[in-house]
Amino acid sequence: MKFLKRKPQSVHSPSKKSNVKKVGMFSSIKTKLITGFLICIIPIVLVGVISYNSAFTAIKDTASSSILQTMQQTNEKLALTLDNIEALSSQIMLSSEVKEYLSVKGSEDTFLEIQAISNLNDYIGRLKVTNKYMESITFLVDSVISVASTGYGLSAEAYNNLKDSQIVARAKDMDGRIFWTGFHPEIDENRSSSINKNNYGLSAVRQIRNINRVDDEEALLIIDVKLALIEETFNKINLGNNSELHIISPDGRDIGTRAVNDEIQLIDTTESTNQIINQDFYSKIISSDVKGSFTDQYNNEEYMIMHTNLETSAGDTGYKLIGLVPTANFRHAAGGIRDVTIIITVIALIIALSTSLVLSLGISSALQRVLEVSQRVAKGDLTANLNSKRNDELGVLTGSINSMISNMRELISGAANTAYAVIESSKVVGDTSEQITIASNEVARTVQEIAQGASAQAADSEQGADTMSNLADKINAVSEYTNDIAEFSDSTIRLTEEGLISVEDLEMKAKETTAINQEIIVDTQELSGHSEAIGEIIKVIENIAAQTNLLSLNAAIEAARAGDAGQGFAVVAEEIRKLASQSASATKNISDIIINTQSQTARVVERAKSSEDILRTHNIAVNNTLEVFKKIAGSMSELAQKVKDITNEVEEMNNHKNQAMKAIHNISAVSEEIAASTEEVSASSEEQVSSIEELNSHAKELEKAAAKLEASIKNFRVN
């Protein structure tokens, strides 16, 4: 068949509306590139934040440890001074001046009392001068003038006025042991000259007794330590800007300093807002028995709070040393890392923005040109072309698009020629398919007739196979019966052989019994002879017993003749007579037993002879039975041979039957295969007819599609 070819016309159709979506601002590559570069800055920011937090934590931990160590050193320094004060109180209590004063207290000798008071005043004065941190020493005694360092004397009624005070009650409870307090206003009110509590910072109190006069009231020793001790100690400690350092007495007196711009200032703790004991976190410090640190709010700001107990060699004084440092100081120390992170982040941001703008503008302009050409191609203009001097992937993309447009031009031209050829060919295919359809219908009818004949033959073969199958069942039944007979014959032969063996054994046993019976007869006859011999012996014994009896009678007669001399012989004769009588009696019993034995032996001999006759008859019967079993065994052997012959013939018939069945089944299978094949051929013919009709329909559709393709190709401009 011929395919008509003609060149397509170059037709330029009017421009069509483009379906290409416009790229939004946030979907453009430029925006994505800038966003990608900005995202890369995030790890730098994270590293800065993590470094800043790590540095802050490390600085805070280091500073906390360092401040605690500083506070511990301060604690040790104050404890050393307090140890000296405690030792001084013991020295005063044991001094001769105090003993003298207590011994003349209340004495009628006024001179001695005045002299003791003077000596004690001098002694206290000397002690005060030698210790620069000692504010005053007071010796409070009942009923006499109390002694105090210069300028702070007490009246004679001072002790009576203080008997019910809290400080005296506690001194009694301590029973001579020293204790510390922050201030003692009840004592200060009884001084002859007023004392400012701000002049002293710590006070040691101790009860003193007169060991020589146990009935005396107690004396009270009070040693006041100057506030300057705490001020000088705290002025040397700077925990950081706006930090505070406090010492809290057991009775709640708060003395503290604050660092302001490297200057240490004393805090006015008379105001409740400046007192640590009024803060919420103070309860945490009180509940803790050891040193420690924690973070809490103070003056509306976060502070690191560190605390420790002031202890001397005598034990815990009850004082708390507390340091407060704003955490902002630690953050300021870590601020350098934060500033460096911010600067690096800003620089990286500028570099990222500049780089992303340069790259995105270059890529965006190249892609814009590609987009414009792509839109022209999408509208059917295949004359468009791209020009690019780039050497990167975009340059390769531009060249690839140009090649694609060129290939599309060649494809459209070739498709136009093919479309015209397809239109002509589809017409020829349509005519040919109609002719094939007619011929295929004829073939289908013929194949259907062959299939019907093959089906009938297959049915006849199946019927013959059924008949042979019934015959095979009968032959199988005969074969099974024959096998059963053969099995019964074999069983009968085995039983006959076993009976024959049993009869032979019975014959042998009968012979053995006969022989034993004869031996019994012989032994019995011998036993009878022995019994007769014993009878003869018994007769001899009877004669001996009679003679012995006669002898005993003669002996008795002779003993009677002898008189008294023969009495012993008479006894012997009597005993011999008794033995003779016993022997005669025993001999008679043995004779009776022998007679009975001979009688029974005679009967046994007679019975043994009768048994011998019976056994002789029994042996004859056994021999007859043996002959009968031998004849039965011979007959069963012949029967078994005949059954085997029948079984072999039945098996041969079964083999011929199987061959016949196999041949019939083969004929039936072939017939069925022929019928199935003809049906398949018929079905194939019908499918072929259907396919040809479908081919005809597709040829018509192809002709229509080629016409549409031709119309569509006219929409492209290739030159």
CB-CB neighbours of 110 under 10 Å: 9
Residues 383 and 414 sit within 8 Å (Cβ to Cβ): no
> What dihedral do alpha carbons 421, 422, 426, 429 form, nearest 10°?
70
Confidence of residue 9 (pLDDT cuts 50, 70, 90): very low
| Residue 235 predicted with pLDDT over 80 | yes
Strands 315-326 and 244-248: antiparallel
Average pLDDT value for residue range 9-23: 47
**Residue 569 carries which side chain, given as an amino acid letter?**
F
Whole-number pLDDT of residue 212 = 58
* pLDDT for the residue 23: 56
Q: CA 98, CA 154: separation in Å to the nearest integer?
A: 17
> How open is the CA angle 112-161-102, to the nearest 5 degrees?
25
Tokens of 430: 């349509």
* Highest mean pLDDT of the ranges 120-129, 385-394, 615-624: 120-129
Sheet holding 200-208, edge to edge: 147-148, 134-140, 219-226, 200-208, 179-181
* 192: its two tokens: 């002859």
**Spatial distance between the Cα atoms of 697 and 433, rounded to a whole number of angstroms:** 10
- Distance spanning both ends of the chain, measured CA to CA: 32
Three-state secondary-structure class, residue 509? helix
**pLDDT of 12:** 44
pLDDT of residue 496: 74
Strand partners, 304: 295, 325
pLDDT tens-digit profile of 185-210? 888 777 766 566 667 889 999 988 76
Q: What is the pLDDT of residue 10?
A: 44
SS3 206: strand
Contact 98, 216 (CB under 8 A): no
Q: Are strands 263-266 and 254-260 parallel, antiparallel or unpaired?
A: antiparallel
Report residue 297: phi and psi, to 5°.
-85, 140
Task: Convert the pLDDT of each residue in 417-436 to its tens digit.
Answer: 776 677 777 667 767 766 77
Q: What does the block give as tokens for 366?
A: 């190249």
What is the spatial distance between Cα 483 and Cα 539, in angstroms, rounded to a whole number? 83
Banded model confidence at residue 16, pLDDT cuts 50, 70, 90: very low
Q: Is 693 exposed, middle or buried (0-12, 13-18, 19+ CB in 10 A)?
A: middle
DSSP code for 564 = G
Helix locations, 95-165, DSSP H: 96-104, 110-130, 158-162
Does residue 693 register a pLDDT over 50?
yes
Element (H, E) at 404: helix 393-562
- Give the pLDDT of residue 147: 72
Which amino acid, one-letter code, is at 417?
Answer: N
pLDDT of residue 324: 92
Q: Which residue carries 């900005």 as its tokens?
A: 38
Is residue 433 within 8 Å of 699, Cβ to Cβ?
A: yes
How many C-beta atoms lie closer than 10 Å to residue 20's C-beta? 10
Contacts of 597 (CB under 8 A, 6+ apart): 527, 531
The answer to whether residue 13 scores a pLDDT higher than 60 is no
DSSP of 465-506: HHHHHHHHHHHHHHHHHHHHHHHHHHHHHHHHHHHHHHHHHH
Q: Give DSSP secondary structure letters for 299-327.
A: TTEEEEEEEEEEEETTEEEEEEEEEEEEH
High-pLDDT (> 90) share of the chain, %: 3
Cβ proximity of 357 and 28 under 8 Å: no
**Residue at token pair 């001094």:** 95
Q: Which of 231, 299, 237, 239 is nearest to 266 (CA)?
A: 231
Residue 498 has pLDDT above 70, yes or no: yes
Biggest alpha carbon distance in the chain? 200
**Cα distances (angstroms) measured from residue 59 to each of 301, 330, 641, 646:** 18, 6, 118, 117
For residues 262 and 240, give the distance between their C-alpha atoms in angstroms, rounded to a whole number.
Answer: 8
The string of pLDDT tens digits covering residues 18-67 is 454 555 555 666 677 677 766 776 776 776 677 667 766 766 777 777 77
Q: Which residue in 217, 215, 219 sits closest to 207, CA to CA? A: 219
DSSP annotation string for 586-623? HHHHHHHHHHHHHHHHHHHHHHHHHHHHHHHHHHHHHH
The residue count of the chain comes to 719
* Cα 532 off chain centre by: 107
Residue 516: how many other CB atoms lie within 10 Å? 12
Q: Which of 264, 269, 242 is nearest to 254 (CA)?
A: 269
Percent of the chain past pLDDT 70, that is, above it, reads: 77
The total of other beta-carbon atoms located within 10 Å of residue 563's CB is 8
Residue 160 to residue 170: CA distance in whole angstroms: 16
117 burial level (CB within 10 Å; 0-12, 13-18, 19+): buried
Instruction: Measure the CA–CA gap between 397 and 30, rounded to whole angstroms.
Output: 18
Q: Are 688 and 440 in contact (CB under 8 A)?
A: yes
CB 289 within 8 A of CB 211: no
CA nearest neighbour of 180 among 117, 74, 252, 128: 252
Phi, psi of 53, rounded to the nearest 5 degrees: -65, -40
The per-residue pLDDT for 216 is 54
The region of weakest confidence among 290-294, 410-414, 538-542 is: 410-414
Count of helix runs (H) and strand runs (E) in the chain: 13, 11
Q: How many whole angstroms separate alpha carbon 278 and alpha carbon 281?
A: 9
Cα(363)–Cα(128) distance, rounded to whole angstroms? Answer: 93
**Separation of alpha carbons 429 and 697, rounded Å:** 10
Q: What average pLDDT does the chain have?
A: 76
Reported confidence tier of residue 335, pLDDT bands at 50, 70, 90: low
Instruction: Confirm if 112 and 104 have CB atoms less than 8 A apart.
Output: yes
Ordered DSSP codes for 436-470 = HHHHHHHHHHHHHHHHHHHHHHHHHHHHHHHHHHH
Residue 2 has pLDDT above 60, yes or no: no
DSSP codes of every residue in 500-541 = HHHHHHHHHHHHHHHHHHHHHHHHHHHHHHHHHHHHHHHHHH
The answer, as to whether pTM is greater than 0.75, is no
Q: Are 142 and 217 contacting, i.e. CB atoms less than 8 angstroms apart? A: yes
- Helix (H) or strand (E) holding 294, with range, is strand 292-298
